[in-house]
Chain A
Amino acid sequence: MSYLLIENVNKTYNSTSVLHELNLEVMEGEMVTLLGPSGCGKSTLLRCISGLTDMDKGSVHLEGRNITPLAPKDRNVGMVFQSYALFPNMNVYDNIAFGLSMKKKSSQQIKSRVEEMLQLIDLTEKAKSYPHELSGGQQQRVSLARSLAVEPKLMLMDEPLSALDAKIRKHLRTELRQIQKRVGMTMLFVTHDQEEALTISDKICLMNQGRIVQTGSPDEVYSKPKDEFAARFIGSYNVLSGEELSMLLAEPAYSKSAGKYALRPEAIHVKQNSLGLQPTSTSSGSDAAAHICLGLVEEAVMLGNIIRYRIEANGVRLLADVLNGDQAMKFHEGDAVQIQFDRQACLPLAPSGT
């Protein structure tokens, strides 16, 4: 049975539908990410679950109990904000203790719990510091500890890492995942950063225009995008129309297809034109499933560990990612190259919006 169950949630702001008949299930102890572009309704969904925003229709069940009519303070749901929202008039210790004192815990209980939390986030020595004396990363850790201290049944995180710089963000997301696993906390994490979502999640819910487009493990969502939106959002997929694919493969069979196809940039192998291919010729090589053709490098972009080539092949533009390793494999603008990919790697996509 699902731990968190969200059924048919609708939310409209000024006659614009922000959430549309949305359903979601989360298991206990799971880290689920709501991933989507800004304005897709992911933050609104979090606010509806926490009770900070009323929804027009639908229900939220937590541990089998309908929490829809409850006030935010009675839902037992914690939330970490992008802006940290630490109380400026209280030091770290008092910030973490705030929720516990609201729950009327004894001072001894509060003390031991706050100390435990401080150890968890590794900020014991900062207990007396005020929020403005801490770095952004430290503030966000305190914010997490403050929410964890009251042992909420569910933790909501609204783009908690977005305000931090890249290095701290990467470090903190690893730490966050470790803490989540250690505490066994059920978390719903909102982000627009696909890399962040892929790294920390048990399950990703890809959202677009108030709907969940695709749900699955990071691997599933990345390697089997369901529709064009998913393919474009989750990676740098080549999205080809049927006509483009038939041009690329020189097989007219696809040209009648109305649907689109996705081809991962790293599935395309770029080699030196050792077969002496001519612009129009294609070959299947030794492997029947492999497709080989000639391409022209239009652009090469260094992305660090990979080089991204924009290649024109049979009148179709493709992106191909190659590991930045072998010196002999580096090509430049204007180079003729041989590209090879598995026909099976061209994934048919469902039409968007279903």
Chain B
Amino acid sequence: MKKGRAFPRVILTATLIYLLIPLLATLLYSVAKSWQNTILPESWTLGWFRDLFMDPRFTLSLWRTLWICFLSVGLSVVVMLPTIFIVVVYLPRLEKLLNVLVLIPYAAPGVVMAVGLIKLYSSGPVAIAGTMWILVGVYFVAVLPYMYQGIRNSMRTIRTIDLIEAAELLGASKLMAFRRIIVPNVLPGIRVSVLLSFSILFGEFVLANLLVGGQFETIQIYLYHRLSESGHLASAVVICYFLVILILSGILLALSGILGRQSTAASKKGSGQ
């Protein structure tokens, strides 16, 4: 019996070590002054972080990345939530089409996508190639699969059509039913999709580099540029953006928790409790 319980623990610990060692090594390297042929660094410094924070390019690129991720993911939620809702409830025949559409970004390699987009948007009515707007557009497409799967699955599990019909017969308009019943119930699905999309975009390099390159330096492009300068500095960058993602995930989780409670509280207020 003891053996049976020990085995999963060993696996779990091994996995954790495997996942944490690179991170730990990066952290150590970012605070090491010199680290040549010893197990642990010979001397320590926070100088690399100081250098990093003193560099206005770093903070600027971090802000840009945050900003563009928020914009792209936000846009994706705003567009995809009603779209998926309408397809699931009113146009189930289009579901197959939507399925194929959202899977294309999965299948198309980044380079192919980027070259095609540059060609399409470098001239004509929407000449946005080289600006941050093309990146927003591309990122919107890139996170489609994650948004779609997460939201659609939670809509399926809550029997969306039955709930909407029940709400309508109780006197709610379609919009009201969507806002009061559907949105709160698919919130966990949205939360997972948003987190996933956000961390994927935060670490995205290929599309950003090809589409906007030096004109709009994101954190990944900044990292790439300084990689050749010093490994210690690059490690510090990696640790920083890992922390940013960690904090952001925490904030998003807390925020959606609050939102979830608020919608219940709102209905309570509405019902006079």
Contacts and interface: CB of A to CB of B under 8 A. Distances in A.
Interface in B119-166: 158-159, 162-163, 165-166
A94 B267 CA distance: 7
A292 interface: no
A101 interface: yes
Contact of B169 (A73, A94, A111): A73
A254 interface: no
A111 B271 CA distance: 7
Contacts of A99: 170-171
A89 B272 contact: no
A88 interface: yes
A79 B169 contact: yes
A83 interface: yes
A89 B170 contact: no
Contacts of B46: none
Contacts of A98: 167, 170, 172, 180, 267, 271
B272 A97 contact: yes
* Most-contacted residue by chain B among A88, A110, A114 (CB, 10 A): A88
Interface string A184-206: 00000000000000000000000
- The B interface is mostly helix, strand or loop, or mixed, namely helix
Contact of A85 (B163, B176, B272, B273): B163
B268 interface: yes
B165 A72 contact: yes
Given A73-B172, A102-B171, A87 B163 contact: yes
Contacts, number: 93
A76 to B, nearest CB: 9
A146 B162 contact: no
B209 interface: no
B61 interface: no
B162 to A, nearest CB: 4
Nearest to A79: B169
Contacts of A241: none
B59 interface: no
Contacts of A97: 267, 270-273
* Most-contacted residue by chain A among B170, B173, B264 (CB, 10 A): B170
A101 to B, nearest CB: 4
A313 B50 CA distance: 104
A89 B268 contact: no
A147 B170 contact: yes
List the 4 closest A-B pairs by CB distance, nearest first. A107-B272, A97-B271, A99-B170, A102-B171
9 contacts: A79-B165, A83-B162, A85-B166, A87-B185, A89-B184, A90-B264, A94-B267, A98-B167, A147-B169
Interface of B: 158-159, 162-163, 165-173, 176, 180-181, 184-185, 260, 263-264, 267-268, 270-273
Interface of A: 50, 52, 71-73, 75, 77-79, 81, 83, 85-90, 93-94, 97-103, 106-108, 110-111, 114, 146-147, 150
